[in-house]
Structure 1
Amino acid sequence: MGPAGTPKTVGIVWGLLVLNTLGSAGAKTIVPLPRSLIQLVTMGALAAAFSLALALNPRLRIRAGSFLFLLTLLLVTSVLSSAHLESGFGALFRCARLALFVGTLWLLSRWWDGGPTFVRHHIRMYFAVLGSVVAGLVISPGAALPELYGGRLVGALWPLTPPQIGQYAAVIIGLTVLLVLGRRTDRASAAVVIVPSLVLLALTHTRTATVGLLIGLALAIGSLLLTSAAARRFFTWAVLCAAVAAVAFSSALQSWFLRGQSQENFSNLTGRAKVWDALLAAPRSTVEELFGVGLGDKSFGGLPIDNSWLAVYQEQGLTGVALVAAIVIVLGGVALLRPPSLSRACAIFLISYCAIASYTEAGLGDASPYLLHLAVAASLLAAPAAAGPFATPEGPRQRIPRWAQRTEVS
């Protein structure tokens, strides 16, 4: 058993969910992997995750909450929007995937107790993914830093794009920093995670992940300033270091941030704005306006949408946008109402990171790493299970038969 009575197998289930959300499209790998093979692995991982979660929770004990309730409503909306097959049979397949994904989260909710258990699972799994990126970089630097992506770091063993790698690195850096401030891990172990992840984040040149990390950490640490001396010290030193770096390395930072792009290209978000304008200008029926055209590949006119809100609007309509907004607002509201704690700080970091990244990356409306980040936030905000008459700090106690409750008399 893991912390707070959580089976260690839960970590395996979480790892399978992470594997499912890695995606099947990206950079060219050292050994070419057919997309059909990658999809077989990712879907097999999801099916295995659901089956294993069901085996761990055969009595279907769940912890109902607003996050999973709203996510289920989003699933229903997705099915309604995909039923008329405007996006083809692939939309129904994606609905089935989302159903298994949401079902697995429902089964795992039994172990959501407000503790850092799922934070640790999250860090371990994404650190393992980054380990594969490092292995690819060592084996073939040319494949890991291809000219096709402007020399930005990609996955050479598994087809991961620079934004994906940047996202995974930023999230585990932020969570690990908070665990150190909360004295839930030692500095040496944290350095093993943070230092290489920072290097990988720099090599990806991912602006969204960097901004999300900085703002998310600022908000999370800010929530601890009144109760944690370590947080106050870290915040002070971080501000001083940032000020020095901004003055001493301003030209280098500007060059890294622009990635060699022109001001015009930077201002229209590397061409994203053109896709967004075309999507919003496209004619729609009332049904499409309300429910979208069904789950697709998050593209419009053959180009990626790269905005969670517009992707949801395209695929699940205004109903989907309202549900996704409700998920973020409810989680954020609950986090703000909780007293200062490490769990609250980690939740604030994850929620704020997802909110920031949603502007230039898609994923909030479908099975994705972003929904996993929000699921970890929901697990951190869950109230601890009430102790029953047979509950112990180590977990539920077996009911003692009446005959065994007799006290022996010496």
Structure 2
Amino acid sequence: MSGGASGAASGSASGAAPGSADAPGPSGAAPAVSGTPKGVGVAWALLGLNTLGSAGAKTVVPLPRSLIQMGTMGALVAAFALALALNPRVRIRPSAFVFLLTLLLVPSLIASVQLEVGLGALFRCARLALFVATLWLLSRWWDGSLTFVRYHVRMYFAVLVLVAVGLAVAPGTALPEYYGGRLVGALWPLTPPQIGQYAAVVIGLTVLLLLGRRTGGAGAALVIVPSLVLLAMTHTRTATLGLVIGLVLAIGSLVLTSGAARRFFAWAVLCAAVAAVVFSSALRTWFLRGQSQENFSNLTGRAKVWDALLAAPRTPGEEAFGVGLSDKSFDGLPIDNSWLAVYHEQGLVGVAIVAAMIIALGGVALLRPPSLPRACAIFLIGYCALSSYTEVGLGDASAYLLHLTLAASLLAVPAPAAPLPAADTPRRRVPRWARR
């Protein structure tokens, strides 16, 4: 989403030569950029690497957490440096989403300087600031096209390939007992929810590209089928429900304008009904993951942590701005809820800003005419909104913020084309008689 509802491109750094590719047009908006440099995709992949995290499952070759953190932070610094090299004049597009994300730095910094959660809070603030700055630099190439969707799918499918290689090399490590036999990263410390999230997003976006005839059936099958297998092996309910509901919303936005979407929707409903009848017992077993009804009803113990967090005493300052960016835990237990994590770390101000981010994206998506980019954006917004109930990440640099940023880029309006430079304007031949 660019510029709230308008999506106009930004005017820029002074000193651009008249008629150059960076010179503002008559309205002061930056002209459309011809093509997207390959380095933009590299910068996007580096941002994805930064959000993989450094804690999770045990790997085949033990990797020190400090070494992984150096790699992920190095990826973020490299992404910023590359984006700055590609956009040295700092040409940006106004974006309500990235503006609100920048505004989220205010309560984060106010709470973190108190050092209630240690020096790590300031480090996380610096990481978030660098993450947001890189997004601003990359916003120059947001034009509502599917370019960044392809970057996103390739990036996370590469992560899934790494997971599959780990499963083939060390199946015992990839399906550990301490995770109940659920799939984890054997080569990089990825948890089942992370793998499930990446698989669900890759599947959803690839299905939409297939419906929009932007990819072939064979190529889509090579991505969708193995990703579905990995998703099933993670036993991740949130990712599965997010995939289904996100696709329902996205395809529903296309049914009035796309025959392929209508046919897919009809077949999906039929297959779901047959599966619900034939495989009801197996589906129920997979969904419960061997848990008791009581454990399932309190969301695997999450509800107890949530109740304790809400009941904890807070000062007025903590109520407004939180306690600072932390590791998304409370009393040593994971919070596993984006809204409560934001409330705990950035207070009610942070919750209001994050809610405004989601509402702004959703509102602009509803105002856009039906299209494939709009459907992809709706899928990502729906998926992140549903996952926020049992996953964290909306208040800090994470894969969820990267998904929502992709949605914002898909909702951007293409910038106006640059005017023809005066030096290149063809001159009219003046007849000799007219010169007198």
TM-score above 0.5: yes
Letter of the structure 2 residue corresponding to residue 148 of structure 1: Y
Q: In the alignment, what sits opposite 1:139?
A: 169
> Is the counterpart of residue 27 in structure 1 residue 67 in structure 2?
no
> Is the counterpart of residue 275 in structure 1 residue 305 in structure 2?
yes
Q: Would you say the 8 A contact 2:57–2:189 is kept in 1? A: yes
Tell me, in whole angstroms, the C-alpha distance in 1 between the residues paired with 2:355 and 2:314. 22
Q: In the alignment, what sits opposite 1:211?
A: 241
> Is the counterpart of residue 96 in structure 1 residue 118 in structure 2?
no
Q: Deviations over 1:33-75 (max 9, x none)?
A: 0000000000000000000000000000000111011000001
State the 1:388 CA deviation.
Answer: 2.6
Tell me, in whole angstroms, the C-alpha distance in 1 between the residues paired with 2:68 and 2:235. 26
> Is the counterpart of residue 401 in structure 1 residue 423 in structure 2?
yes
Tell me the secondary structure at the aligned position of residue 5 of structure 1.
Answer: coil
Tell me, in whole angstroms, the C-alpha distance in 1 between the residues paired with 2:407 and 2:301. 32
Tell me, in whole angstroms, the C-alpha distance in 1 between the residues paired with 2:295 and 2:429. 82
Q: Would you say the 8 A contact 2:107–2:322 is kept in 1? A: no
> Is the counterpart of residue 114 in structure 1 residue 117 in structure 2?
no
Q: In the alignment, what sits opposite 1:152?
A: 182
Tell me, in whole angstroms, the C-alpha distance in 1 between the residues paired with 2:307 and 2:429. 80
Larger Rg belongs to: 2
Q: In the alignment, what sits opposite 1:69?
A: 99
Tell me the secondary structure at the aligned position of residue 185 of structure 1.
Answer: coil
Question: Which one of the candidate residues 83, 87, 90 is aligned to 2:113?
Answer: 83
Query: Which aligned pairs between 1:312-391 and structure 2 lie closer than 5 A?
Result: 312-390=342-420
Letter of the structure 2 residue corresponding to residue 401 of structure 1: A
Question: Which one of the candidate residues 155, 177, 186 is aligned to 1:125?
Answer: 155
> Is the counterpart of residue 234 in structure 1 residue 264 in structure 2?
yes
Tell me, in whole angstroms, the C-alpha distance in 2 between the residues paired with 1:350 and 1:131. 22
State the 1:408 CA deviation.
Answer: 8.4
Tell me, in whole angstroms, the C-alpha distance in 2 between the residues paired with 1:226 and 1:375. 27
State the 1:401 CA deviation.
Answer: 2.9
Tell me, in whole angstroms, the C-alpha distance in 2 between the residues paired with 1:191 and 1:325. 36
State the 1:77 CA deviation.
Answer: 1.8
Tell me the secondary structure at the aligned position of residue 383 of structure 1.
Answer: coil
Question: Which one of the candidate residues 290, 295, 316 is aligned to 1:265?
Answer: 295
Q: Would you say the 8 A contact 2:109–2:324 is kept in 1? A: yes
State the 1:81 CA deviation.
Answer: 1.3
Question: Which one of the candidate residues 202, 218, 221 is aligned to 1:172?
Answer: 202
Change (3 A) 1:354 1:4: farther
State the 1:407 CA deviation.
Answer: 6.7
The runs of 5 or more residues in structure 2 that have no matched partner are 1-32, 431-436
**Count of aligned positions:** 398
Tell me, in whole angstroms, the C-alpha distance in 2 between the residues paired with 1:32 and 1:400. 62
Tell me, in whole angstroms, the C-alpha distance in 2 between the residues paired with 1:293 and 1:231. 46
Identity in percent: 78
Tell me, in whole angstroms, the C-alpha distance in 2 between the residues paired with 1:223 and 1:407. 50
State the 1:406 CA deviation.
Answer: 4.5
Q: Would you say the 8 A contact 2:338–2:390 is kept in 1? A: yes
Tell me, in whole angstroms, the C-alpha distance in 2 between the residues paired with 1:172 and 1:39. 25
Tell me, in whole angstroms, the C-alpha distance in 2 between the residues paired with 1:108 and 1:78. 23
Letter of the structure 2 residue corresponding to residue 180 of structure 1: L
Q: In the alignment, what sits opposite 1:396?
A: none
Q: Would you say the 8 A contact 2:55–2:190 is kept in 1? A: yes
Tell me, in whole angstroms, the C-alpha distance in 1 between the residues paired with 2:66 and 2:337. 26
> Is the counterpart of residue 309 in structure 1 residue 313 in structure 2?
no
Query: Which aligned pairs between 1:288-307 and structure 2 lie closer than 5 A?
Result: 288-307=318-337
Change (3 A) 1:19 1:408: farther
Tell me, in whole angstroms, the C-alpha distance in 2 between the residues paired with 1:18 and 1:4. 25
Letter of the structure 2 residue corresponding to residue 213 of structure 1: L
State the 1:89 CA deviation.
Answer: 0.8
The runs of 5 or more residues in structure 1 that have no matched partner are 391-398
Q: In the alignment, what sits opposite 2:18?
A: none
State the 1:80 CA deviation.
Answer: 1.1
- Which structure: greater helix fraction? 1
With a CA cutoff of 8 Å and minimum separation of 6, indicate the structure with the bigger relative contact order: 2
Q: Would you say the 8 A contact 2:59–2:188 is kept in 1? A: yes
Q: Deviations over 1:139-196 (max 9, x none)?
A: 0000000001000000000000000000000001000000011111111111111000
> Is the counterpart of residue 5 in structure 1 residue 27 in structure 2?
no
> Is the counterpart of residue 187 in structure 1 residue 246 in structure 2?
no
> Is the counterpart of residue 36 in structure 1 residue 66 in structure 2?
yes
Give the TM-score normalised by the residue count of structure 2.
Answer: 0.90
Tell me the secondary structure at the aligned position of residue 54 of structure 2.
Answer: coil
Q: In the alignment, what sits opposite 1:49?
A: 79
Q: Deviations over 1:319-346 (max 9, x none)?
A: 0000000000010010011110001100
Tell me, in whole angstroms, the C-alpha distance in 2 between the residues paired with 1:5 and 1:87. 45
Tell me, in whole angstroms, the C-alpha distance in 1 between the residues paired with 2:429 and 2:65. 68
Tell me, in whole angstroms, the C-alpha distance in 2 between the residues paired with 1:181 and 1:215. 17
Tell me the secondary structure at the aligned position of residue 401 of structure 1.
Answer: helix
